[in-house]
Amino acid sequence: MLKLENLSVAVNDRQILHDVNLHIKPGEVHVLFGPNGTGKSTLIGAIMGFSRYKITAGKIYFKGQDITNLSVDERARRGIGVMIQRPPTLRGLSVREMVRICGKKHTNVEMLADKTNLIEFLDRGVNEGFSGGEIKRSELLQLMAQQPDLVMLDEPESGVDIENIAVVGQAANYILERGLRKNGQTIRKRRTDRQKSGLIITHTGHILEYVPADTAHVMYQGTLSCSGNPQEMLTCIHEKGYEECVNCAL
Ligand code: ADP
Ligand code: MG
Ligand code: MG
């Protein structure tokens, strides 16, 4: 689904990412851990193609094709979707209109809004006066409509209150078509002919209770340092901290 080859990225002429290699196969969900400022959001931004992230070396392949130089909207059309950390407020564009723009012709806006607890927000401007958690849910609502094949989530649970963590987790799972989960058990798997992939940045790992992930990576000082089982890696980070964790073989 996604392959990064020796990807290096600069922001404002400052080199942030160095030689990042990553391979996410169809149906796989990968998690990205790492301290603040290490380049996690930069990686997602570069994959999506936001112009502030300049690719200085390396290649991005999506579904086997080189997309390194494609525009954001072309990448979105090919099936990449992202939920960024701080999306802008769009005055004059309602959530309902935005969901219609993101979605296909027959998108059931009300049904998706219900799943994200956003029915009462449909006629408000996108993110206008929204709390942190409401912004996250509104982003997920747009992704539900877009139905991307590669879903990238930047800290989906941060700023979300306890009650809505489950809503966020279930929405993420819905987008990834990974089946409904409760207490760590898959209780219903959706039948699908498509194999969606995910890349999820998380500090807390709470999202892992809802979204089963296959592999985790630690990003440290702008490069991917180690990979392994998500739960084991989270335990390692909590016990030893990032610096020691990247030096130990899991
Ligand atoms: P993370 O998501 O891991 O917390 P980021 O990818 O957001 O890290 O940021 C990586 C580094 O890039 C940080 O040191 C940050 O300050 C820097 N950075 C991000 N945006 C800019 C910018 N517009 N100009 C200069 N440096 C930036
Ligand atoms: Mg951060
Ligand atoms: Mg970030």
User: Is the Cβ atom of 170 under 6 angstroms away from ligand 1?
Assistant: no
Residue whose CB lies within 8 A of the most ligand 1 atoms, among 11, 53, 86, for a mutation test: 11
What tokens were used for 81? 């979707």
ipTM, 2 decimals? 0.93
Residue in 148, 18, 37, 131 with CA at minimum distance from that of residue 83: 148
pLDDT in tens, 129-172: 998 889 999 999 999 999 999 999 999 988 888 888 888 998 89
Sheet holding 223-228, edge to edge: 80-83, 150-154, 197-201, 29-33, 215-220, 223-228
β 150-154/80-83 pair status: parallel
User: Is the Cβ atom of 34 under 6 angstroms away from ligand 1?
Assistant: yes
Task: Report the nearest-CA residue for atom 11 of ligand 1.
Answer: 37
Backbone angles phi, psi at 97, to 5 degrees: -65, -40
pLDDT in tens, 6-56: 999 999 999 999 999 999 999 999 999 999 999 999 999 999 999 999 999
Rounded Cα distance between 240 and 224, Å, is: 18
